[in-house]
Structure 1
Amino acid sequence: MGYRMVVVGATGNVGREMLNILAERQFPIEEIAAVASPRSTGDEIDFGDSGKVLKIRNIEHFDFAGWDMALFAAGSEVSKIHAPRSAAAGCTVIDNSSFYRMDPDVPLIVPEVNAQDIGSYSRKNIIANPNCSTAQMVVALKPLHDAARIKRVVVSTYQSVSGAGKSGMDELFEQSRNIFVGDSAEPNHFTKQIAFNVIPHIDVFLDDGSTKEEWKMVVETKKILDPKIKITATCVRVPVFVGHSESINIEFENELSAADAQRILREAPGVMLVDKREDGGYVTPVECVGEYATYISRVREDPTVENGLSLWCVSDNLRKGAALNAVQIAELLGRKHLKKAA
């Protein structure tokens, strides 16, 4: 017997990817509902490659009673209104928005990192999915932290436009095309031209000069991994359609050689080490699209601190950074708590 599943925000980039991954991983489903805003009601959407077509239902009128789990991928405002409604009806929420991430009564889960924390979901019947850039970074950091205890992390991100939704992807495409034909490339969604450019600004600015995206990486990593870790982040939007990259510098309490780090990462859950010290011996965003793994390359010792390493981290932000992590949480919840599937 399978689960009755709901995907909220099914017409967006992440919602579509959730449907794809549920189908790919053959999640035990008895029934599935695709839910979105009123303007999409009645539209049809594929349930991955299963051959099944789903008709979009209106979130405003959807009754969550009798459903087991709802994967939310529709933004904070939708989660603020409808996630408590779902949770109160007995349908456990796995929320991809930022709204519940720092709520002390809501666990923030990356299954490879802190699966043990999922039990506290019963306080509100809600589980939070972390920010895309945080998710891939903590998958890389966790096994190294277990081995040598991380003191400090300095991370610079190279985040694709899909992290800003379909409008971000459309803007990169349209600006690139316009530049080639000599037309204007004025920004609309982003603050500056994104085609053939990089923008060191994601989300709003805070009083200390950091952006909210940078703040998210700091506070979410502390909640998921260890509150004692010191973190500083610089988050940059780059002209890549899908796939976030990160340059991560780590300072440890104890000695950890590059060779030992490579050995640890090679065996770590969710990690794929591709680290050949030769031309092309590393992974780039283009190569990670559609993949489940968090790819690690360029592992090397940092001689400027006593126990330091630097590495390169790449992942499909629509998958591990969002949809895949949500489905993995659903799988974990099913195995450990709901235990409904045969």
Structure 2
Amino acid sequence: MTRRAVAIGVGHYLPDRIVENAEFEETLDTSDEWIRSRSGIERRHFAAEGQTTSDLATRAARAALDDAGLTADDIDAIVLATSTADLTFPSAATMVQAALGMTHGFAFDVQAVCAGFVYALSNANAMILSGQAKRILVIGAETFSRIMDWSDRSTCVLFGDGAGALVLEAQEGDGNSADRGILSTDLNSDGRFRDLLYVDGGVATQNTGFLRMQGREVFRHAVEKLSSSAESALAKAGLSSDDIDWIVPHQANIRIITGTAKKLGLSMDRVVVTVQDHGNTSAASIPLALSVGKARGQIKTGDVVVTEAIGGGLAWGAVVMRW
């Protein structure tokens, strides 16, 4: 028998404020058509004043626990993927731990920008396989609206706030691709490309800074790196693109999503797409899409799901799981 990390609950939370593309027309030289045609985004959610990343993460965590029929007492660890933690330290994960009333176990953040949830899943999977934890809350949460330069139309119209969470549980499998749970992971990074996507603030500058991105260059890297990582993860699992039921990609740009699906030889009716309603929520986008995909009735028990993402670093990766 083989230990597997199986998804048994999923949930998400989106802030109340919905910002349509047209709202940006009041302050920027842009339009709804311009934003839609270049990104596929129609609207996004922004956190309220005083609403933090850990607040969003806690709500998503509670939704995932409810979906799994569990409480915080049943969880051994929290792994939270974010680039917009409430404070430099302590981790937002420990804040979620306190908010859930969880006084045991451990909690920590993972920072790999838009690839963060893939990295967090990989970490959680390793801890379950090693026996360090039986059940882990894996969360992606962001408040990217707090690091936007509102005069830069090439970036500020693309990002939104939100959170998604997944409950992973150790279960026994037969050690083959028919098992439920995470079947393989593939992680990559290349620091030579750090200037393509970064925030120009932090400890070194003693200010929060703003997000900066060379969009065309990021796009140039994205499709090739995402498809290659997905193919690598599938090969590790002993599967091929023909076995995929759903791709749940990082929701950054509809052209990247369609380009990656085409590269993998898949039609868009096998891709969960939420970018039009959420924008780019960085580390939150994959768990948000998983939760929405399940709620829509798209993702069902036994489906082979491939998640893939790329973000600043550059960092990228993919996870193959059977739902």
TM-score, length-normalised on structure 1?
0.30
Q: Which protein is bigger by CA-based radius of gyration?
A: 1
TM-score, length-normalised on structure 2?
0.31
